[in-house]
Amino acid sequence: MAVTLLSQSTAALSLVQVGVFDGLVELILDDVWGTVLDLLAALTGVEMLGYPFMQRAYLAAVCIAVIGPLVGSFLVHREMAMIGDTLAHSAFAGVAAGLFVNSAFAVTVPPLLTALLVAALAALVVQTLVDYAGAYRDTSLAIVLTGSFAVGSVLVTATDGGIAVGINAYLFGSLATVSRANAAILGLLSVVVTLGVTVAYRPLVYVTFDEVGARAAGLDVTRYNQLLAVLTAVVVVGAMQIMGVILVAAMLVIPVAAATGVRGFKRSIGAAVCAGLVATVAGVTLSYVYDVAAGGTIVLVAIAVYAGATLATRVR
C-alpha cells in the first residue's frame, strides 16, 4: 500500500513538474519572445519574424551569441581555441550514440542529451590528459578529437548507414532542428553557463592570465580548468543545433577575435557578444532568405565582422 502510494505520489509530482516546465516554456517562447517578434513583424512588415520556427531560431541565435563569446573569451586568452573543435567532434560521437541506441534498441533517447554527456566527459578527459598524463595540450586535444570522430563514424556505419540521414542536420546545422523542446533546453543551458561564469568569474580570470600565480595563491586550478572545459562542452552542444558540429567552434573564437582591439577584459567580452549577435542574427536571416546552410552563413558573417573590426582598428 505504501509502495503504491509512493509511486502514485511520484507520478503526480512528475506530472506537476512537467506541467510547470511546459508552462514556463510557453510563457517564455510564446507570451514573451513570440509576442515581441510578432509585434516586430507587424511594425516592420517582415513576415518571417512571425513564423514560430524562425522565432525559435532567432532565440537560439541570441543564446549562442551570448554564451559562445562569454566562454570563448577565456579559451582564446589561454590559447585553447581548438578545444571547441575537439568537443564538437565529441558531441558528434554523442549524437551518433543517441541515434544508434534509438535505432538498435527501439527506445527514445534525446541525441542532445547523449551529446552533452559525451562532450562533458571528453572535456574532462582532455583536462585529465594535460594534468596527469603529461600530454601536451595540443596532443591531448588531437587524441580526443580523432578518437571521438572515430567512434562516431563507427556508430554511423554500424547500422548500415541507417542513421546517416538523421545525423546530417547535426553535422551542418539546420533552422528546422530547433524545436520547442530544443529551444527550451538551449535557454536553460544558457542560463547555466552564464551563472557558472558569473559565480566563478574572478578565479577564472586569475587562472586564465596567471595560472602559476593562481596555484601559489591557493586556488584549485584543476577544478576551475575542469569547470571551463565542461562549460565549453555545454556551449558546443547548445550551439550545435544551428551551427552544426563542423562549424560550432567558430562562435567560441571569431567574435572574441573581433573584439581584441577593445581594452579591458570585461569590455572585450561585451564587444565579443555584440559581434556574436550581429553574426548570428544576420546569419539566420540570410540563411532563411537565400535558403542556405545556417551554420556556414553565420560563420561567414562573423568573419566579415572580424575583418571589419580589424580594419577599423588598424585605420584608427
Note the pLDDT of residue 135. 59
Helices (H), 51-136: 52-77, 83-105, 111-131
Q: Is residue 161 very low, low, confident or very high in pLDDT (cuts 50, 70, 90)?
A: low
Asked if 256 and 73 count as a contact pair (C-beta separation under 8 A), the reply is yes
| Residues 168-196, mean pLDDT to the nearest whole number | 83
Helix then strand then coil, % of the chain, to nearest 5: 85, 0, 15
Sequence ranges of the domains in the chain? 24-315
159 Cβ neighbours under 8 A, 6+ residues apart: 100, 103, 104
3 state DSSP class of 242:
helix
Map grid coordinates 595540450 to a residue: 137
Which pLDDT score is estimated for 79?
A: 82
Question: 6-10, 108-112, 219-223, 269-273 — which one is most confidently predicted on average?
Answer: 269-273
- If you search the block for the grid coordinates 567574435, which residue do you land on? 255
- Average pLDDT value for the chain: 85
More confident: 301 or 177: 301
> What pLDDT shows up at residue 271?
96
Residue 208 has pLDDT above 90, yes or no: yes
Q: Which CATH architecture has domain 24-315?
A: Orthogonal Bundle (1.10)
CB atoms within 10 A of CB 300: 18
Contacts of 303 (CB under 8 A, 6+ apart): 254
Q: Would the pLDDT of 3 be above 80? A: no
CA-derived radius of gyration, the chain: 21
pLDDT score, position 21 = 58
What number is the average pLDDT over the span 259-286? 95
Cα–Cα distance measured from residue 170 to residue 293, given in angstroms and rounded to the nearest whole number:
12
Percent of the chain with pLDDT over 90: 49
Which of 269, 242, 248 minimizes the C-alpha distance to 258? 269
CB 53 within 8 A of CB 176: yes
